[in-house]
Amino acid sequence: MKLSVKLIYFITGSKIAVVLIFILSVPFLVERIASEYTNYSLRDQQKKVMNNVRRHGVGFYLQGDKSYGSYTMLKEEYIALEPAGPGADMDTIQTEERIVEQDTLNYRVLSYTFRVGSNRYLLEIGKTTGSINQYNKPLQRIALYVLMGLIAVTIIIDLIFTRILISPLKEIIQTKLIKRKFPFKEPAVPVKTSTGDFKYLDQSLIDLMDQINVDFEKEREFTANASHELMTPISILQTKMENLLAEENISEATTMSIIGMMKTLGRLKKISSSLLFISRIENAQFARTDQIKPAKLITDVLEEISHRMEEKGLKLHVSLSDDVTLNNVNQDLLFQFFYNLINNAIKYNVEKGSISISDHRGRSGYSIVISDSGIGIAKEELDFIFDRFRKTNLGENVGYGLGLSIVKSIAVYNGIDVKVASVVGEGSKFTITFGDFDAKITGGKP
């Protein structure tokens, strides 16, 4: 689930929860407010009564009677003044039942005793509680509507805001992780954001990539230097052996062992120069300015390699269109690229097997498919065949394990996509796709 969706779910959920709690607690709150208000108004009325008593004497109410009582019409309020019996002084507000003209009603009752001269009086002011709770239902309904409306508005604002808030994350992933191609040549541009966490993430990724670059640079430098440093001693050995072989008076056994040494040296030479070749590709030492026709290039490769194909008695099917031109590639590198792939198709083929080379134009670009009837590659090995010194087909004809590494380097350098499918015992299929920007597809022949 997306972070923005999660955030919206959480925010909405918590808002709804708060609103529900509020609405459920409305009756209680209303009761509290009403009771506070009732208490307040009872005290207010008490004050007024006491003012009157103070100003006009208690007779103002009693008018000569022993007690005074008054009700409002619907008995919602009453006021009573009577002589107090013996007992403690009172000054309370309580909810009590009162029987008024045969009706038992709940009242909020203020009881207050006071003295006038030597007489003690009890003042009671009552107010029904029933009238207090009648507003609960409509209040709840109105609160529900208003709050739900507010929630809807805030959710829309939240949606917009979280989207804006989270957008740098998407940008960081896009620019730093997905779109960047290794090796990272151009410096990384920090994503613009005022969110500290994203800045931190972005900077961490930039640092990480810089570190990878530094390490990669070191490895590349090492490969180049090491291979280069090997070339001089290999040269010396090679020339020494060549001169030794030309000596007149050496025995056949010596000759054979010199030849053996030369073969081993040849292997060393091949490995070093392959590594150096890879590091040169990675160092971008080859111009990518050639325009080539793949049909012609592959014909040249096949001519160069035909003797190997003939030796194994392989059948070859080539079907390539003549009117395709690849732009911005390096001819030598592409030659090596197809040479290695076709060479493998021969090397790991069976006697009297077959190789087929065809092409097609698809949505993703121009593809060339090289398939063979060879021994195939095990599924668990497929991911590693482009690794250096990885040898998967441990048959009698094992190479150095660098052929496909070179293929990979050239592919990366020239923006070529290589896909492999293989079934052990049936053969392998390499699909090589040149992106649209590299493949200028002209119309048919005039």
Partner 1 sequence: MKVLIIEDEKTLAYEMETFLKKAFYLCDLAHTAAKAAECIEMNQYDFILLDLGLPDGDGLSLLPKAKKHNPEAAYIILTARGNLEDKIAGLDLGADDYLAKPFSLLELQSRMQAIARRKFNVNAETVPLGDFSVNLQTRFIYFQAQQIELSRKEFDLLSYLLLHKNRVLTRMQLSEHIWGTFADDDYDSNYIDAHIKNIRKKLNTYAPTDWLETVRGVGYRIRK
Is 188 or 234 the residue whose CB approaches partner 1 more closely?
234
Instruction: Kindly state whether residue 276 participates in binding partner 1, applying the rule CB under 8 A.
Output: yes
**Per CB under 8 A, 259 contacts partner 1:** yes
Q: Does 240 engage in binding with partner 1 (CB under 8 A)?
A: yes
Where do we find the tokens 């040494």?
Answer: 261
Give the interface segment with partner 1, choosing from 68-76, 172-180, 257-265, 358-366 (CB under 8 A): 257-265
Amino acid at 335: F
Interface segment toward partner 1; rule CB under 8 A; list 24-32, 118-126, 170-178, 233-241: 233-241
Q: Which is nearer to partner 1, 169 or 355 (CB)?
A: 355
Question: Closest CB to partner 1 among 141 and 240?
Answer: 240
SS3 274: helix
Q: Which of 2, 54, 137, 228 binds partner 1 (CB under 8 A)?
A: 228
236 binds partner 1 (CB under 8 A): yes
Residue given tokens 């008076």 in the structure block: 249
Question: Is residue 399 classed as helix, strand or coil in its secondary structure?
Answer: coil
Binders in 302-321 for partner 1, by CB under 8 A: 304-305, 307-308, 311
Nearer to partner 1, 83 or 260 (CB): 260
Enumerate residues 6+ apart whose C-beta is below 8 A from 181.
412
B/e letters for 381-412, b = 16+ CB within 10 Å, e = fewer, are beeebbebeeebbeeeeebebbbbbbbbbbbb
- Specify the residue, 160 or 284, whose C-beta has the smaller distance to partner 1: 284
Residue 401 sits at φ, ψ, to 5 deg, of 80, 25
- Cβ proximity to partner 1, 270 vs 379, nearer residue: 270
Whether the Cβ atoms of residue 59 and residue 117 lie closer than 8 Å to each other? no
Rule CB under 8 A: say whether 245 interacts with partner 1.
Answer: yes
Interface with partner 1 includes 243 (CB under 8 A)?
A: yes
Residue 345 near partner 1 by CB under 8 A: no
Reading the block at residue 403, the tokens are 């052929």
- The C-alpha atoms of residue 18 and residue 341 are separated, in whole angstroms, by 67
The window from 57-65, 95-103, 313-321, 394-402 that contacts partner 1 (CB under 8 A) reads 394-402
Radius of gyration of the chain (CA): 48
Which of 107, 112, 198, 339 binds partner 1 (CB under 8 A)? It is: 339
Q: Report yes or no: 136 and 27 within 8 Å, Cβ to Cβ.
A: yes
Amino acid identity, residue 431?
Answer: T
- Enumerate long-range contacts of 202-209, CB under 8 Å, 24 or more apart: 202/168, 202/172, 202/176, 205/172, 205/176, 205/177, 206/176, 209/176, 209/180, 209/184
Q: Does residue 378 bind partner 1 (CB under 8 A)? A: no
CB 66 within 8 A of CB 83: yes
Stretch that binds partner 1, among 33-41, 154-162, 204-212, 299-307 (CB under 8 A): 299-307
- Among 103, 397, 443, 445, the residue binding partner 1 under the rule CB under 8 A is 397
Minimum distance from residue 287 beta carbon to partner 1 (Å): 8
Site residues (CB under 8 A) for partner 1?
Answer: 228, 231-232, 234-236, 238-240, 242-243, 245-246, 252, 255-256, 259, 262-263, 266-267, 269-270, 273, 276, 280, 285-287, 304-305, 307-308, 311, 339, 343, 397, 399-400
